[in-house]
Amino acid sequence: MIKIILVSAIAASMAPSVFAQTCNDKMVRSNEQSQFILNDSRGVVTDAVNALDWQICPLGMSFENGDCIGTATQFDSWKMALDAVSSFNASSDVQYRLPTIIELSSIVERSCSSPAIDVAAFPSTPNAWFWSSTYTFGANDVDLGRKINFEDGLEFDNRANSNRHIRLVRSLR
């Protein structure tokens, strides 16, 4: 019984948490509340400041009843993430892409952590790394793309880590 509890505790500690967001109310918010306009019927959030439509949920999750349901798909390499976007677009009328590192950084809420994002606009975002389309010069073959950790909003990860996701975006201009 003790072994089962210990194994469960270890597994739970390794899984990305999505429920324990902490925000510092003394910090100015990175994004205005009015920046993000939810379109529940399409499963997108419109970023009015940057003229972007974001998928509300990471790839692999679906938007139902105001929340992201399911498990975000993990991509062990940048190539796998890029290939997933191509596959998604092959079966969609609307064409999406990976965000640039600047675009991805624009949805980071720096006054919050666990996750470092506006959870009203992007519910159930995993505390995990998200790929961008921006190339990392001199990186190894697995990590050619730059990424942001939505646990704390920091960029780059030099550790081996298979817990990387994607959130799709499209330009409105």
User: pLDDT tens-digit profile of 64-117?
Assistant: 999 999 999 999 888 999 999 999 999 999 999 999 999 999 999 999 999 999
φ/ψ region of 153 (left if φ > 0, alpha if ψ in -120 to 50, else beta) reads: left
pLDDT tens across 23-78, in order? 999 998 888 778 999 998 899 999 999 999 999 999 999 999 999 999 999 998 88
Q: What is the pLDDT of residue 143?
A: 64
For residues 165 and 173, which has the higher predicted lDDT (pLDDT)? Answer: 165
Question: Residue 16: what pLDDT?
Answer: 46
User: Token pair for residue 39?
Assistant: 């379109």
8 burial class (0-12, 13-18, 19+ CB within 10 angstroms)? exposed
For the stretch 123-170, pLDDT in tens is 999 999 999 999 887 766 566 788 999 999 999 765 556 679 999 999
